[in-house]
Amino acid sequence: MKEKESKKRRLSIKSSIFISMALLVVVMLTILWLTQSVFLSHIYRYTKKNETDRAASIIVDNINNENLNSLIEKISSEYDLCAEIIRYPGDKEILYDSHFLNDCIIHKLQFEDTLLDFWYEEAKSNGGKYIDILPRDKFRDFGYDPDDFHGDVPRRGGDANCVISVSIAETSDGDSVMVVLNSFVLPVDATVKTLRLQLIVITIVMLASAFLIAYILSRRLSLPIEKINKEAKNLACANYGVTFPQEGPIEISELADTLNYTAKELSKVDAMQKELIANISHDLRTPLTMISGYSEVMRDIPGENTPENMQVIIDETARLSSLVNDLLDVSRFQSGTQKLNISRFNLTESVKSVIKRYDKLISHNGYIINFVYDEDVFINADEVRILQVIYNLINNAINYTGEDKTVTVKQEVKDGIVRISVIDTGEGIAEKDLPLIWDRYYKVDKVHKRAHIGTGLGLSIVKNILLLHGSRFGVSSEVGKGSNFWFEFKIL
């Protein structure tokens, strides 16, 4: 119940994209409104103050430059300011005067000791530099009437402010000078009104565009995903014939392609699983039927309690036990719980011991098992599991060998590697079927026949054991000429 409520509270991808796009535009417009309207005057004051301070630093750094006059003219023009260099303290002689602005403050004022001393002390206490933005009314504190020197400064009460920069420097002659710069911070009310009108239009256009783009983009992204989700639900219901539409961006198209491949593979697995169940049922039913039938005969018919009948029951019980053990082995391999007990042993002797188990089969059924080798070899592996590999490969060869009933086991040594090959003379396997023969109960002809020896799970067990050992293995076959199953190990 809680999970369903949680899903209801989640947004769809369409809604998420739409809301995200809308929020992005709102944030951008908010920043635009704040910087271009609300804080425009503050930004302008800050910029003007920084420009004046930068101009003062350049002049101070070049106070002894022989081209100082032209440099100040250039700076005054570039930064829109007036400049004066005064010998101070001392005779207060004006050493240089750049009059770029008409009727600026520092040229209108008749500098007296009160104002110069104030600026000098402020600069001296601040490491040789003083800069501030002063309303015109501030000059009343020094005995000046701001109405007497409005000049270029609009007469709008406290709105018109002066940027005053004072720096203390020393010339190469040892004289102390004061560099005084003056610029204006003009009112920006009209500019703000114009920008606000522009921002209103921009806001309307951007919001409308954002909502339209967000709607189109969200639909383009969400529709393919909705279709994939719908087909995925069908796939979850074991409908493996679904097709995922490859639409939309490349990532969604690749996802659909992957899901199509997954559905195809699941279809194969499902078919093999059904075949596996059918084959196992067949192999379980056959020995059970024979055990039950012979037991009833021995119970109901006098004189049928013979060693031969008992042997049939024992053989079928052994076959049944072997099938169950093989199923358990396959299950352990698939779950990854099977462990190996690695030791050094004589592989050649192990092959001989396995072949010896077939003495009865050879003598009663006419099979021929040849073992071809040149020398004894030793390897590091789980001996019990390698015996199981050899046994299952020989079983498989006996089940599929030709009319001559011949199976050849060959041991070859080359470059420190031993290869064991198990060769039959049967009908062979088509090349397209070779990659599939290691699957559980896979049959080339798709007709399940009870194996003469083993359970039909042998090749799957062989594959998993050799994979656990990290051993190379494979099969070569030609239709009408038999098959050759092989595996390799390093020689010790």
Each residue's pLDDT, cut to its tens digit, for the chain (492 residues) gives 444 454 455 666 667 777 777 788 888 888 888 777 777 778 888 888 888 899 999 999 998 888 888 898 888 888 888 888 888 877 778 888 877 776 576 766 655 556 778 888 888 888 889 988 877 666 655 555 555 544 444 333 344 578 888 999 988 888 888 898 888 877 766 666 777 777 788 888 888 887 788 778 777 777 888 888 888 888 888 787 888 888 777 877 888 888 888 888 888 777 767 776 776 776 677 678 878 888 888 888 888 888 888 887 887 787 788 777 777 777 777 677 778 889 999 999 999 998 988 887 777 788 899 999 999 999 999 998 898 899 889 988 988 888 899 999 999 999 999 999 999 999 888 888 888 788 755 555 544 444 444 455 778 888 988 998 999 999 999 888 899 999 999 998
Q: Taking each helix axis from N to C terminus, what angle separates 383-400 and 347-356, rounded to the nearest 10 degrees?
A: 50
Q: What pLDDT sits at residue 139?
A: 61
Query: What's the CATH number for 66-187?
Result: 3.30.450
Query: Which amino acid belongs to residue 271?
Result: A
Cis peptide before 89 (omega within 30 of 0): yes
Query: What's the CATH number for 339-490?
Result: 3.30.565.10
The three-point CA angle 27-31-36 to 5° equals 150
Q: What pLDDT sits at residue 471?
A: 93
Rg for the chain, CA atoms, rounded:
49
- Which part of the chain is CATH 1.10.287.130? 250-332
**Rounded Cα–Cα distance for residues 100 and 170 (Å):** 24
**How do beta strands 161-170 and 378-381 pair?**
unpaired
**Rounded Cα–Cα distance for residues 72 and 232 (Å):** 76
With the C-alpha atoms ordered 144, 146, 149, 153, is the resulting torsion angle positive or negative? positive
- Which part of the chain is CATH 3.30.565.10? 339-490
- Which part of the chain is CATH 3.30.450? 66-187
Identify which of 407, 82, 30, 396 has the alpha carbon closest to the alpha carbon of residue 199. Answer: 30
Q: What pLDDT sits at residue 402?
A: 87
Cβ contact 445:426 at 8 Å: no
Query: What's the CATH number for 250-332?
Result: 1.10.287.130
Q: What pLDDT sits at residue 306?
A: 87
Q: What is the pLDDT of residues 263-305, one digit of tens each?
A: 888 887 777 677 767 767 766 776 788 788 888 888 888 888 8
Q: Could you tell me which residues are beta bridge partners of residue 369? A: 407
Q: What pLDDT sits at residue 192?
A: 66
Q: Is 108 exposed, middle or buried (0-12, 13-18, 19+ CB in 10 A)?
A: middle
Name residue, tokens 């109901």.
300
**Phi, psi (deg, nearest 5) at residue 427:** -80, -15
**Phi, psi (deg, nearest 5) at residue 25:** -65, -40
C-alpha dihedral over 394, 398, 403, 404, to 10 degrees? 40
